[in-house]
Amino acid sequence: MTEADVAAARDLWERAGQLSGDRSGVDTFSRYTWQAKQTVLQWLTCLPDVGGPYYVICEHIDDIILVYPRSLKFMQLKTRDRGSWTAVNMCDSGFDSLVRSYKKAKEKDLHLQSTFELWLEGPISEVKATVAFVEDPTTADAKVCKKLRTYGLSARELTDFLQRLRIEPGQPSRANMDATALWKMTALWPGTSSGELKTVYERLLEAATAAQEAADQPASITALLGTRLADPPASAPMFEDMPTLVPLEVRRQTLTRSVVFALCPPLPNEHVDVLMQRLAAGQGTSMLELKMRAGSASHDRIQEAQGFRAEMDVERQLLLASRANAEEELERLAHRTLTYVRAVATRVALDGAVNPTQAHRPAETIAATLLANPADLSQCDRNALFSRDPFLLYGYIAHLSDECRFPWRPA
């Protein structure tokens, strides 16, 4: 983080904050707690020293605007009750707002350093045109282009807009959003208890909700910041000395890098940048990876488990296709394997009483123990479903972890 980056981000924040907007999102926010939870995850991407945004503006022009030192990201977050997303129904749910944002940004010459992103709860349709459009919006067909033109884009503007458009489907469902957020936070702070992380998450969500509603931050937040910031704020909205050209309402709607630092535990240094990049891009992370990160497994150990899981899954699919009772046999294998690995996890916990390093890195220790004792692992495969191959069985444990049946730490 350089002084030039700080100044550049501050300038972009001020320019974006002066764009004219409406309060419709603010007034209807009570229906969209899912959106606030997504906001929390984006706010966390402010934490890295390099590459993250400096400001998160809520419900101003778009659902979220992320302000980086030299770029802006305008984001629309959309939920869907049933069915998959097609290119056509995306036009009726989000693109109108993004086009409006594009035109407002263009009025202030901000569009050249901006992207416009649609984040979607749930999957997209498997129709080839939709898949191609999501991967590369410049492939939009005539029907989509015609619809976008009705929002006021000229032919030249349409071409430019599509080049700046990003679509991120497959966002966590409303029912799973809390669990997903907490697992990602556990991966960021593997040494922090689940109770403490839940408190941090609720605190961040409370602050994000206030920003979405353009309200003053709750007294509990301002009091906490007063004890943690070197220069306690005089005013609630931004907790910083903000330029007066930015309206008070927009200052209330802004979440800053300094505040998320004050509200969160210190980040460990190991491989956090990878997870942060995925959060910023809206990309999913498997439960296996999140749980192994939460148990302080090394990057190489996680990749190793993913490789064995992929190798195992080929054999598992062949087994399912060739045996009528394969699911029942696999479930029996799961029971035996989980009994064994849970015993290993318990042993790791007991040994941790005299080995602090082992206690702080349970996933790394469990993985090393399993791989160092291949014969013991092979004994789980009594019916030779995986030819008693210990590495395929290790991959099967990784698969069971993805199904939330093994946490890579003592229960």
pLDDT of residue 28: 52
pTM of the model: 0.70
72-78 and 254-256 as β-strands: parallel, antiparallel, unpaired?
unpaired
- Whether 253 and 296 map to the same domain: the answer is no
- Whether 76 and 51 map to the same domain: the answer is yes
What are residue 73's DSSP bridge partners?
A: 66, 115
64 φ, ψ (degrees, to nearest 5): -140, 140
- Whether 228 and 324 map to the same domain: the answer is no
Q: Which residues contact 340 (CB under 8 A, 6 or more apart)?
A: 376, 377, 379, 380
Q: Is 143 among the domain residues?
A: yes
pLDDT of residue 277: 66
- Whether 361 and 331 map to the same domain: the answer is yes
Average pLDDT rounded to a whole number, residues 359-381: 91
Q: What percent of the chain clears pLDDT 90, i.e. is strictly above it?
A: 48
Last residue of a domain, one of 258, 281, 304: 281
Q: Is residue 367 within 8 Å of 354, Cβ to Cβ? A: no
Sheet holding 72-78, edge to edge: 165-171, 114-121, 72-78, 62-67, 55-60, 254-256
- Whether 293 and 220 map to the same domain: the answer is no
Higher local confidence (pLDDT), 347 or 286: 347
Q: Is 154 among the domain residues?
A: yes
Q: Measured on CA atoms in the order 364, 368, 369, 374, is the torsion positive or negative?
A: positive
pLDDT of residue 268: 67
3-class secondary-structure state, position 165? strand
Of the listed ranges 5-19, 118-132, 275-289, the least confidently predicted one is: 275-289
The average confidence (pLDDT) of the chain is: 85
3-class secondary-structure state, position 389? coil
Q: Is 7 among the domain residues?
A: yes
Higher local confidence (pLDDT), 342 or 194: 342
- Whether 170 and 305 map to the same domain: the answer is no
Residue positions counted in the chain: 411
- Whether 157 and 104 map to the same domain: the answer is yes
In order, the DSSP letters of 223-277 are HHHHHHSSS--SSTTTSS---TTS-HHHHHTEEEHHHHHHHSPPPP-TTHHHHHH
- Whether 96 and 48 map to the same domain: the answer is yes
pLDDT of residue 98: 95
pLDDT of residue 24: 53
Helix boundaries (H) for 151-235: 155-164, 177-188, 194-212, 219-228
- Whether 263 and 331 map to the same domain: the answer is no
- Whether 120 and 35 map to the same domain: the answer is yes
Last residue of a domain, one of 260, 281, 302: 281
Average pLDDT rounded to a whole number, residues 343-368: 83
Higher local confidence (pLDDT), 48 or 54: 54
Residue 192 has pLDDT above 90, yes or no: no
Q: How many domains does the chain have?
A: 2
The predicted-structure confidence for 25-46, as pLDDT tens digits, reads as follows 554 543 478 999 999 999 999 9
165-171 and 254-256 as β-strands: parallel, antiparallel, unpaired?
unpaired
Where is mean pLDDT largest: 23-32, 67-76, 212-221, 260-269?
Answer: 67-76
- Which residues form the domain of 20? 3-281
pLDDT of residue 235: 38
Residue 234 has pLDDT above 50, yes or no: no
pLDDT of residue 229: 64
Q: Is 407 among the domain residues?
A: no
